[in-house]
Chains A and B, each alone.
Chain A
Amino acid sequence: MLPYVGRRALTAIPTLFLVTVMVFGIQRSLPGDPALILAGEQQDPAVIAFIREKYRLDDPLPVQYVAWVAQLARGDLGRSLRTNERVLHLIAAKLPVTIELAVLSLLVGIAIALPLGILAAVRRGTAVDYGGTALALTGLSVPNFWLGIMLILFVSVRLGWLPASGYVPLSEGVWENVKRMIMPAFVLGTGLAAVLMRQMRSSMLGVLKQDFVRTAHAKGQRGASVVVRHAARNALIPVTTILGLQLGALLSGAVLTEQVFTIPGFGKLIVDAVFNRDYAVVQGVVLITATSYILINLLVDLAYAVLDPRIGAR
């Protein structure tokens, strides 16, 4: 098990290196000069020159890259070009918000997808199956931002049940926090549920055909017990892969949902930073996102080993 973990961790290093090169390169290849944006409406040439010098925007790209990596090596992600805040502080403030949203969405997704997926597989070809599949397709097809705005208009404006948008930290009250998270988590969760449910259904169908399930039935175990204790656990392995990938995607991909519900998380941080050409923030956020993506994939691989000990032994 330990050598397996070590091997997997080592492969992450070159990936991270490539990530830094790509983050830096893509960002610099965008048109748009951060100094012009930072100088604001007034476009004072002296201010533009000062900004270019301060952030070394006139240095050759390799020099800028090396300077950034050297800074990273010291654990310093730099400061936001726009607000002068430390990027690390910004990320530390935003990360918990997006993690909370991702976890809640994941819970919503799992709560919908697993029972529906199992049910659709067990009752294959019935109304339950078709209904579930139709629901999943709807979840996949409806754009997040549209569903978000519709929910705001209906639940907040029409019914006045939940606040329309915004975020309140957990420290200021659990209910205050949760009631603002319900709609965004639902919006993200339904999209996730659609993917998970289809995966769960097909995986379950495969498992249900296998010999050990027939054996369990033959031994006289009750249907529900066979489905839950034997079939579902095995069917979960491919679903876990998807779940891991989706969690990574959730961390960075809550972009639209955070915009719609004005949640000050990672997604919103990066969108605003890209539009403002806030190089330091974009680079910092993408780097952290990529690192967490790699970490999550590592954890998923380790989870296989727990679910199926044969994998770790290989």
Chain B
Amino acid sequence: MGRYVRRSFAILAAVALLSAALAQSTLRIGLAEDPDILDPALARTYVGRIVFASLCDKLFDIDTTAAVVPQLATGYTVSDDGLTVTIDIRQGVLFHDGTAMDAEAVKYSLDRAKNLPGSNRASELEQLESVTVVDEDTIELHLSTPFSPLIAQLADRAGMIVSPTAAEAAGEEFGNAPVCAGPFRFVERVAQDRIVLERFEDYWDADAISIDRVVFLPIPDSSVRLANLQSGDLQMIERPAPTDLAVMRADSNLVVPSVASLGYQGITINLSNPEPRTDPLSSDVRVREALELAIDRNTINDVVFGGEFIVGNQPVPPSSPWYVADMPVPERDVEGARALLDEAGVDRVPFEMMVANNPEAIRVGEVIQAMAGEVGFDITLRATEFATALDLQEQGQYAAFPVGWSGRIDPDGNIHQFHTCEGALNESGYCDPEVDKLLNEARAAGDTDERFELYRQALERYLPDRHIIYLYHTQLFFPHVAAVQGFQAYPDGLIRLQGVSLQ
């Protein structure tokens, strides 16, 4: 009898423990892709940044208006010559392995981001010459030239602080089990299946976190991702198909917060990559202007995206403080476009447009093809698999390519590398030394008004050249079940779980 009672108690205790374990709140988030390597220095995908937002805190972060706010830093000052940036480090912060996040660790992480072979952060920290530790919670960054976008860079992967102890121990394997100072710590990753994180009890801002466990599940098919949300297997998804928005909004169990992204979508036209091209589209700016006037941006938005996106004509969306309001989105003008083609002495302009081979990109291509056809452009669409398209673009084997940029917090990230002669992402082969000069000055200028003026002057020069015809800005949607409360969408498209709870 005694044994029986003891056994019953043991079972009861086990059941109690089990239910306590089950009562833990687990948030399951469906991602559109499988993230790449989870090492802040080596990572390169947008979807990876979504995971990092829960895993690795940064020196700075942004708020919902994309303004930079302190995170692991508490503040910073810039010297008058703009060459020294002093950053105060938050005290009493621990890494997931229990070691202290101090000035030494910050120096280690910044040096690592700059010097690790193959680092994707090296170019972001190009102007950073050295880091010195002033005391336990202060560091100084020494720059080769004044560089205003630096703080914004430190609000992304370049500013993520990793545990030096763990990074040294793991070496090349660090990305397989990253150790940072974010609200959640790494538990496991099964490639193409899931990434599991659990709440870090010693997180410096622990009160803001009420979710116990986060599981990220890559589900590439948008209908399957949505089906999982509707069936309750997931609590949140990212990048739903815009065509599914009506269905989601009609579902009383779902909430669909959204925010305008920092990026843009446009048509990149090859002017001289690798050699100057002689066809009318590449060589005559009037023909490119005719192409722009032939396109009704609102039609693209309505037909392909159900009117959910935002039309635009500049590298930053109209909602951005960096948007130049006196250069508004042009209207479609068929007669004006035709007149320009006549002036250029061309009747029909045939050209091939490379489009990514996904249904949305192809539809955008078809809408452009139809509208431009009415004016005098004979566009052949070449649907091209993404990896191949990248290769062709790099080699300059394309005439026009509608392609986008995910966007950066500082306008420099959306502009400089696309419009300067040697810009790493200048796939158009565009080159105007005056634009280079203005954009370099804008980087160095410390004052916001002064920077705006320089960007405006540069825009007035490069926009009329139309080597990139900016078309629209995507809206980011984060559908979640109503039980998820307190979620706010951020313009960088990351999912931050501070203040989020599961009812």
Contact = CB atoms under 8 A, between A and B. Distances in A.
A152 B123 contact: no
Given A44-B424, A160-B231, A166-B217, A272 B34 contact: yes
Given A84-B176, A160-B232, A41 B217 contact: no
B424 A152 contact: no
Interface string A229-269: 00000000000000000000000000000011110100011
Q: Return the 8 tightest CB-CB contacts between A and B, nearest first.
A: A40-B44, A32-B387, A264-B193, A156-B231, A50-B118, A31-B388, A44-B123, A164-B228
B16 interface: no
Contact of A41 (B190, B391, B394, B406): B406
Nearest to B42: A84
Interface string B255-292: 00000000000000000000000000000000000000
B191 A90 contact: yes
Contacts of B123: 42, 44, 46-47
Nearest to B173: A84
A165 B224 contact: yes
Given A38-B44, A84-B176, A164 B227 contact: yes
Interface string B111-123: 0000001111011
B172 interface: yes
B231 A36 contact: no
B13 interface: no
A54 interface: yes
B425 A43 contact: yes
B192 A44 contact: no
B351 interface: no
A33 B387 CA distance: 7
Nearest to A33: B391
Contacts of B224: 149, 152, 164-165, 260-262
Interface size class of A (residues with CB under 8 A): 35 or more
Contact of A85 (B191, B221, B228, B390): B191
Interface string A153-185: 100110010011111000000000000000000
B209 to A, nearest CB: 25
B231 A163 contact: yes
Interface string A111-139: 00000000000000000000000000000
B388 A45 contact: no
Interface size class of B (residues with CB under 8 A): 35 or more
Given A46-B122, A277-B387, 15 more contacts: A33-B391, A37-B386, A44-B123, A46-B123, A47-B123, A84-B176, A149-B223, A157-B230, A160-B232, A166-B193, A259-B220, A262-B217, A262-B218, A262-B224, A275-B386
Contacts of B44: 38-42
B46 interface: yes
29 contacts: A31-B387, A36-B390, A37-B386, A39-B120, A40-B36, A41-B44, A42-B120, A42-B424, A43-B424, A43-B425, A44-B122, A44-B424, A50-B118, A152-B227, A152-B231, A153-B227, A156-B231, A156-B233, A157-B231, A160-B231, A163-B228, A164-B224, A164-B233, A259-B220, A262-B220, A262-B224, A264-B193, A269-B192, A277-B387
B231 A83 contact: no
Interface string B46-80: 10000000000000000000000000000000000
A276 interface: yes
A22 interface: no
A1 interface: no
Contacts of A213: none
Interface of B: 34, 36-37, 42, 44-46, 117-120, 122-124, 172-173, 175-176, 190-193, 217-221, 223-224, 227-228, 230-233, 385-388, 390-392, 394, 405-406, 424-425
Nearest to B425: A43
A50 B117 contact: yes
A42 B219 CA distance: 24
Nearest to B172: A84
A85 B190 CA distance: 11
Contacts of A38: 44
Q: Which of A261, A268, A269 has the most CB of B within 10 A?
A: A268
Contacts of B172: 84
Contacts of B37: 82-84
Contact of B227 (A54, A157, A269): A157
Given A37-B387, A44-B120, A47-B119, A165 B227 contact: yes
Nearest to B45: A40
A300 interface: no
Given A43-B425, A264-B191, A37 B390 contact: yes
Contacts of A21: none
A150 to B, nearest CB: 11
A67 interface: no
Contacts of A34: 387
Contacts of A149: 223-224, 227
A65 B136 CA distance: 52
